[in-house]
């Protein structure tokens, strides 16, 4: 894409030249009209003056002498010496009633017959030259006074006016274009300074921009850049936290796996090998769960991209999740119960996120439930929220642990857990505009309740 300066200059100079061209054309048209009016007025005035001279009360002999003196004076004109070049292009002729020429200039055109129509006219002489003429008919003295001017005189004058007007316009346009170029450059200097500042920054610098003084037009750009830099910092921060958490949490399981592998290699009996192999498989399973939980946490970071929320049937979504979990629970000798009303529970949410949350809640319940215990899932609606509860028959949570169970990697003494389950559920609850609560049951066990608004949340954080 072309630069802003070039686009602006192209537009401004194009409009300016177009305007000057239109104005020049209008001026040329007006000049032609005004020149024609002035010259026509001069023709008429000269004819009137000549009429006044011809009306002088003189005897016939004196009139003849006057005519002769006119002809001699007009014929002796030397424009190059004491006159004007246009003199030879302006002509006079006077005819009497008999059509005899009384007075004429040397440059007067030849006519086969005297003109007969009074007023202005365009005449072509015998030499095919164009004349603009005015014929004044003096009926009192029976005279016809003809005053003419060659068209090339007017054309020459128009050419001079055009050249004297057009060249200043062209030169002025070039000067004005240069001034516009400099003015636009000066106006865009803050933008150029901002670009120079950005180019001069270190490639790894994510500090906010603080350019001063800054025009009001560039303040939204600076604010947008600072928001983008802040978002990049957040993304990098999440990546650093994920790498740090993964490195911290994977170090111990991998060390344990190495120990189990060494024990398996050093086992002397079949029972020792089976025991070491069982420990190794359990360690691999725990490490796999840890990796999966870490990846889930990275995807569900509160600052990550907000999921696409759409209308779903919460009852149907929960039922589908429980169908998938049932074989696993049965393998652990646990029973599963689901309590919900028959009517659909429509909600704006992310079905995948709810499935992850429910999987983590049921996994936690299964880890702390006694053998042949019952895990109950309840779905109800009240006060503008849907409540999804998971009830187990385990030992519950000590009061001292209530503040820590949502911390990362805190597993409450569960050697098979990664300590991320409730943290993931809490993250999902906040993103859906709800919350997660834990409460010990009077009959024993824990109730974990995920509440979700039954209308579309205003924002997901």
What is the per-residue DSSP string for 56-106? Answer: ----HHHHHHHHHHHHHHHHT--HHHHS-GGGGGEEEEEEETTS-EEEE-T
Q: What is the domain class of 4-161 according to CATH? A: alpha beta
* CA-angle at 190, arms to 188 and 195, nearest 5°: 95
Q: Where are the domains of the chain?
A: 4-161, 216-299, 310-453
Please state the length of the chain.
461
| Contact present, 385 and 451 (Cβ < 8 Å) | yes
Enumerate residue ranges in the chain where pLDDT < 70. Answer: 1-2, 58-64, 66-89, 126, 162, 238, 241-253, 255-256, 286, 289-290, 293-294, 296-309, 400-421, 455-461
pLDDT of residue 19: 84
**What DSSP element (H or E) covers 339?**
strand 335-340
In angstroms, what CA-CA distances link 23 with 16, 26, 107, 169, 407? 10, 5, 38, 10, 78
pLDDT of residue 390: 92
pLDDT of residue 242: 65
Tokens read off for 32: 């032609």
pLDDT of residue 376: 92
pLDDT of residue 459: 43
The pTM is what? 0.43
pLDDT of residue 66: 66
**Side-chain half-sphere CA neighbours of 365 within 13 A:** 33
pLDDT of residue 40: 86
Longest dimension (CA), the chain: 165
Backbone angles phi, psi at 103, to 5 degrees: -140, 140
pLDDT of residue 71: 62
pLDDT of residue 106: 75
| Separation CA 251–CA 154 (nearest Å) | 102
pLDDT of residue 297: 59
* CA-angle at 90, arms to 85 and 96, nearest 5°: 150
Radius of gyration from C-alpha coordinates of the chain = 53
| Separation CA 416–CA 408 (nearest Å) | 15
pLDDT digits 0-9 by tens, 221-267: 888 888 888 888 877 776 776 666 566 556 656 766 777 788 888 88
| Separation CA 429–CA 425 (nearest Å) | 6
Tokens read off for 340: 């919900």
Please give the CATH topology (third level) of the domain spanning 310-453: Heat Shock Protein 90 (3.30.565)
Place of tokens 């950005």: 198
| Contact present, 350 and 306 (Cβ < 8 Å) | no
pLDDT of residue 391: 92
- Give Cα 76 to chain centroid, integer Å: 77
User: DSSP character for 416?
Assistant: T
Percent of the chain with pLDDT over 90: 2
- CATH number (3.10.20.90, 1.10.3720.10, 3.40.5.90, 1.10.287.130) of 216-299 reads 1.10.287.130
| Separation CA 52–CA 45 (nearest Å) | 11
| Contact present, 407 and 352 (Cβ < 8 Å) | no
**Side-chain half-sphere CA neighbours of 455 within 13 A:** 3
| Contact present, 424 and 277 (Cβ < 8 Å) | no
Does this chain's domain 4-161 share its CATH topology with 310-453? no
pLDDT of residue 401: 67
Q: Which residues face 136 on adjacent strands?
A: 145
């Amino acid at each position: 894409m072309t630069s802003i300066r070039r686009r602006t200059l192209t537009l401004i100079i194009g409009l300016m030249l177009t305007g000057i061209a239109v104005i020049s054309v209008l001026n040329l048209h007006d000049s032609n009209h005004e020149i024609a009016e002035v010259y026509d007025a001069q023709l008429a005035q000269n004819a009137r003056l000549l009429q006044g001279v011809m009306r002088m009360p003189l005897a016939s002999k004196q009139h003849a002498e006057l005519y002769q003196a006119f002809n001699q004076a007009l014929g002796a004109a030397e424009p190059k010496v004491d006159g004007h070049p246009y003199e030879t292009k302006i002509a006079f002729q006077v005819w009497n009633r008999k059509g005899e020429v009384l007075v004429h200039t040397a440059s007067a055109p030849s006519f086969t017959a005297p003109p007969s129509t009074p007023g202005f006219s365009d005449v072509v002489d015998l030499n095919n030259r164009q004349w603009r003429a005015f014929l004044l008919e003096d009926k009192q003295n029976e005279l016809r006074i003809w005053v003419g001017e060659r068209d090339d005189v007017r054309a020459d004058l128009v050419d001079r006016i055009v050249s004297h007007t057009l060249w200043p316009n062209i030169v002025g346009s070039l000067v004005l274009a240069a001034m516009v170029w400099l003015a636009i450059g000066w106006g865009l200097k803050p933008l150029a300074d901002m670009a120079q500042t950005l180019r001069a920054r270190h490639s790894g610098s994510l500090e906010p921009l603080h350019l001063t003084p800054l025009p009001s037009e560039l303040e939204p750009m600076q604010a947008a850049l600072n928001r983008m830099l802040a978002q990049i910092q957040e993304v990098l921060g999440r990546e650093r936290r994920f790498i740090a958490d993964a490195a911290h949490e994977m170090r111990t399981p991998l060390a344990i796996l190495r120990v189990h592998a060494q024990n398996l290699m050093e086992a002397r009996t079949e029972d020792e090998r089976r025991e070491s192999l069982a420990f190794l498989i359990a360690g691999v399973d725990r490490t796999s769960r840890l990796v999966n939980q870490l990846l889930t946490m990275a995807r569900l970071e509160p600052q990550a991209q907000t999921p696409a929320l759409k209308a779903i049937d919460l009852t149907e979504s929960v039922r589908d999740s429980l169908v998938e979990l049932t074989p696993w629970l049965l393998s652990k000798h646990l029973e599963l119960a689901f309590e919900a009303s028959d009517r659909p529970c429509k909600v704006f949410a992310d079905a995948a996120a709810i499935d992850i949350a429910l999987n983590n809640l049921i996994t936690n319940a299964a880890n702390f439930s006694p053998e042949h215990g019952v895990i109950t899932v309840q779905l109800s609606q009240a006060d503008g929220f849907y409540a999804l509860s998971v009830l187990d028959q385990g030992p519950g949570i000590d009061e001292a642990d209530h503040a820590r169970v949502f911390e990362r990697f805190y597993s409450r003494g569960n050697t098979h857990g990664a300590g991320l389950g409730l943290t993931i559920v809490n993250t999902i609850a906040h993103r859906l505009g709800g919350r997660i609560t834990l409460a010990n049951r009077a009959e024993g066990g824990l109730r974990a309740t995920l509440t979700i608004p039954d209308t579309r949340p205003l924002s997901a954080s």
